Structure 1
C-alpha cells in the first residue's frame, strides 16, 4: 500500500542489526521516546542544542547514549542511516525547521518521520498536518506521521491525565480569589492566556493568523 514501510521491526534480535532511531529534542517527549526505543532494542541518537537537557536526558535514562548538538553535518549523517526520526523540538512561537527538504530526500526510502512538533508548525520542512483518520502520507518516498495532539487518540487516558494536572491548579486559583486575581499575580497563567474577555491576547496566534491582538498587561487593572 501507499504507507508500506521498509519491513523492519523494533526489537533486539540476535544476529540482526538494531533499528536506528534519531530523536530531535531532549525534552519530555524526547526522553520518553528514547526510553521506548531503547526498551525495544533500538539504537538511539538524540540531538538538541541544549547541553543541559542532553545531560539531564542521559542522567534520567541511567545509561550512555549518542547525543549531539544540532549540527547539520552530524544530523545529516544520522538521518541518512536512520529508520525512524522523531521530531520533538519546540520554539517560542513555532517550532524551528530543523530538517530541510534536502535532508529528507537523502533519507532511506521507506523510513519514517514522526513530527510531534506539528502542533507548533513542525520541525521538518516536508511536514503537513495529518489526522487520526488519515495519519500518514508519503513524500520523497518517506512516510510522514504528522498528527497534532496525538494523545487525543486515547481520549480517556488523556482526559484523566490532564485532569490530574489541572484540578490542583484550578483549586488554587479558586482559593486565591478567582481567575481575575490569579491573572494579576500568576505570571505563568497570564502569559498562557489566549483570550481575555473576548480579546485575543496571544501575539503568536495573532501574527500567525493575521488577527488583531492586545497586550494582556494593558487589559488587566
Structure 2
C-alpha cells in the first residue's frame, strides 16, 4: 500500500511545491529543556511557569530549572520540583545537560559561553541590543535560534508579541492611574469620574494591540478615551470593537496638539513593525500639557513616541520634565512578571510539544510555519534578511535551507 505524501513548504522564486514522504512509526523524541535564571536586573519574568513544566514532563520530556529562576515571578523552586522539573544550581550545569534552552531575554556574554553545539535557543532577541558578535557566536556553534519577536502563525499573528502588547496596554493605564495621584506628584485626579465630577481624559496614540488594550482598560476605569492614529482603517476597527465608546481622530499634528492640551494621561502606543517608533509628540507639545499630567511611553523598547522620553528602570521608573510625569520603562511586562510568565507559557508549551513530536528541529521547522518564521539562525546561517541588512551580513532563505536539507 502506498504511503501518502506529506506536503511540505512552498518555496518562492518559481520552485515547485515540495513533497516529503511520511515516515512510518513514532517520531516523538524526549527533549531535555533548560529554563535558566534571567541574569538581567530588569527582567523578572521566567520563560515557563510550573504548570508548563508539568505539561512537558507529562508528555515525556525532561525539564531542568535553575535555582530561583521563578523567584521574581513568585514561583518557588518547590513548585517547579513538584511539577516534575529538576532543579539545578549552576547555569553551566543546566546548559550542558539540555539540548533546548528557553528563556526570556537573549543570552548575556557570560551565558553565551555556556551554549553548546547544535542547541536550540528560544528567547527574545531584543533587536536594539543585538550585536553581530552574538549572531556569529550562534552561527559558529550551529545553534538554531528562534526569536519571540519573529514567531508568526499562518494567519499573520505574532502570538508572543501580541500577548506582551496586551499586557503593556493594560499596564499603561494602571500605571498612569497611580501617577495621577497627589502622593506621586500628579494632578490629584481619578481616571474615572464620580457623581458630579467628570472623568479624566486619556489620549492614546496608536490603534494597534497596545492601544486597543489601553483603551479597553481606560474605559473600564470610566475615563474619557481619545484614540489617534494615521490609519483610518485601524481606527474604524477599534471603534467597532469598543462599541463606539471612544473618540477617534487622525493623528495629524493639529489633532495631537489639541488633544494633549486637554489630556490628563497620554499613552504612546504608535509603532511600525521592524522599525523605530515614530516620534509623534514634540517637546513643544509636552510644554503645553497640564502640569501633573502623565505620559506613559509604552514604545520605549522601540525608541519611544515622545521627544522628551528617555529610558527609565524599575528602580527609578519615572521623571518629570516641563511639569509632566514621564514613565518610560522599556520592559513593562516584566512589572507584571507572573501574568507575563503565564502568557509566555501558554504560547511556548504548544511549540515545545511540536518540536518533541517532530523528532528533530529540521522536521519541526518543516511542519510548523510559526517556528519557521521565528528562526533567525539555522545550520550556521543567518536566516532573517532584516538582521542581515542591519549588520551587513550574508543570509540564506530559511525555506530553501530546510527544503534542500543543507
TM-score (ref. length: structure 1)? 0.85
Any idea what SS the aligned residue of 2:316 has? coil
- In 2 relative to 1, CA 100–196 (structure 1 residues): closer, same or farther, beyond 3 Å? farther
Does residue 51 (structure 1) correspond to residue 258 (structure 2)? The answer is: no
- In 2 relative to 1, CA 100–195 (structure 1 residues): closer, same or farther, beyond 3 Å? farther
Deviation digits for residues 27-72 of structure 1, max 9, x if unmatched? 2221111111112111110011222221221222123321112111
Greater RCO (Cα-Cα under 8 Å, separation 6 or more)? 2
Pairwise CA distance, 1:170: 2.9
TM-score (ref. length: structure 2)? 0.49
Does residue 217 (structure 1) correspond to residue 394 (structure 2)? The answer is: no
Alignment size in residue pairs: 219
Pairwise CA distance, 1:2: 10
Pairwise CA distance, 1:22: 0.2
- In 2 relative to 1, CA 106–190 (structure 1 residues): closer, same or farther, beyond 3 Å? farther
> Cα RMSD over matched residues?
2.8
Deviation digits for residues 112-133 of structure 1, max 9, x if unmatched? 1001111111111111111111
Tell me what 1:100 maps to: 282
Tell me what 2:354 maps to: 172
- Aligned 8 A contact 2:192 2:223 in 1: yes
Tell me what 2:194 maps to: 13
Tell me what 2:261 maps to: 80
Any idea what SS the aligned residue of 1:125 has? coil
- Aligned 8 A contact 1:22 1:44 in 2: yes
Tell me what 1:130 maps to: 312
- Aligned 8 A contact 1:190 1:216 in 2: no
- Aligned 8 A contact 1:22 1:82 in 2: yes
Task: Tell which structure's C-alpha radius of gyration is larger.
Answer: 2
- Matched residues in 1 for 2:383 and 2:286: separation? 36
Deviation digits for residues 121-150 of structure 1, max 9, x if unmatched? 111111111111111011122111011221
- Matched residues in 2 for 1:156 and 1:57: separation? 28
- Matched residues in 2 for 1:194 and 1:129: separation? 27
Any idea what SS the aligned residue of 2:295 has? strand
- In 2 relative to 1, CA 128–183 (structure 1 residues): closer, same or farther, beyond 3 Å? farther
- Structure 2: stretches of 5+ with no match in the other structure: 1-181
- In 2 relative to 1, CA 216–16 (structure 1 residues): closer, same or farther, beyond 3 Å? farther
Matching residue within 308, 316, 324 for 1:142? 324
- Structure 1: stretches of 5+ with no match in the other structure: none
- Matched residues in 1 for 2:366 and 2:303: separation? 30
Any idea what SS the aligned residue of 1:156 has? helix
Pairwise CA distance, 1:91: 1.1
- In 2 relative to 1, CA 178–137 (structure 1 residues): closer, same or farther, beyond 3 Å? farther
- In 2 relative to 1, CA 114–59 (structure 1 residues): closer, same or farther, beyond 3 Å? same
- Matched residues in 2 for 1:81 and 1:6: separation? 13
Tell me what 2:219 maps to: 38
- Aligned 8 A contact 2:191 2:201 in 1: no
Tell me what 1:152 maps to: 334
- Matched residues in 2 for 1:79 and 1:117: separation? 18
Pairwise CA distance, 1:21: 0.5
